[in-house]
Amino acid sequence: MKEKDTDKPRKRLFIGLICATSALLCLVLILGWGIPYVGLNNIHPAAPYITGFVLALFILVIAWSSLALVLQVITGRALWGTGEARCVAVRLFLPLMEFCGRAVGITPAEVRRSFIQVNNQLVRQTTPPQAPEKLLLLLPHCIQWSGCKLRVSNSVERCERCGRCDIAALLDLAEKYGVHMAIATGGTIARRIVVEKRPRLILAVACERDLASGIQDTFPLPVFGLLNERPFGPCVDTRVDLERLENALRGFIQKESPEGQNPSGQ
């Protein structure tokens, strides 16, 4: 998929924040060892060395995780331990990066956008193409036109495809490629849908906050995130860049299904 103009600055922001965060973490760990050094010595002469060894291991893991991530973002190549690095990034670095970002005036939304951008790159690099039925297109309920009287969040097939919102075009896309499509009204429903459909990859459309938390919640299941467009403000009549979504879908679908059928029919 072609890189957008905004992608590079977001990657740079991610690299800057992850370096600052891991340096800060390592500093805290070193201080955490140095300050109680005398007290530890009183407990047992070997205690400072054992504690120092354990903390040095943590520092190594943090340094390697951030270095592996930065190198993969820059070179585009998966290095040894990158899967684990994504795990550390998802579980540990994001909240700390938000904290560091706030301290220098970067909004959490901007930090999350950079995180989603880098997560998408890692997912693209590490997830093999899938059979269409193993892909789930997960949408937020705010993508439905607010004036629509149909309850499509429980069953998206109820949509009459009037075209007032993107759900009609998204259903066409899901049918064209043979992927599952569902609308989640919240994190709990999203988790239930994932358990029911058992996808190997999720293409999720949502705002920065929901995408970032969805990526964290479903880890290690890969989630490729697409930010929604909000022409009327947050959570109402949102849209999605259909061309970008279709390009992402194409990139993740196996060219040939096991039966030899091309899922897109092309």
The two three-digit tokens of residue 58, written as one number:
């943590």
90 forms part of the interface with ligand SF4 (CB under 6 A): no
Q: How many residues does the chain have?
A: 266
Give the interface size with ligand SF4 as a residue count (CB under 6 A): 14
How distant, in Å, are the alpha carbons of 6, 123, 145, 237 from that of 166? 24, 25, 8, 9
Among 167, 173, 207, 215, which residue interacts with ligand SF4 (rule: CB under 6 A)? 167
Among 47, 159, 193, 221, which residue interacts with ligand SF4 (rule: CB under 6 A)? 159
CB-count burial class (<10 Å; 0-12, 13-18, 19+) for 240: buried
141 forms part of the interface with ligand SF4 (CB under 6 A): no
Residue spans of beta strands (DSSP E) within the chain: 135-140, 180-184, 201-206, 223-227
Residue nearer to ligand SF4 on the CB measure, 58 or 145: 145
In the complex, the smallest distance separating the C-beta of residue 234 from ligand SF4, rounded to whole angstroms, is 19
148 forms part of the interface with ligand SF4 (CB under 6 A): yes
Footprint on residues 203-242 left by ligand SF4 (CB under 6 A)? none
Q: Which DSSP helix (H) or strand (E) runs through 26?
A: helix 7-34
In the complex, the smallest distance separating the C-beta of residue 145 from ligand SF4, rounded to whole angstroms, is 4
Q: Rule CB under 6 A: which residues touch ligand SF4?
A: 144-145, 148, 150, 152, 159-165, 167-168
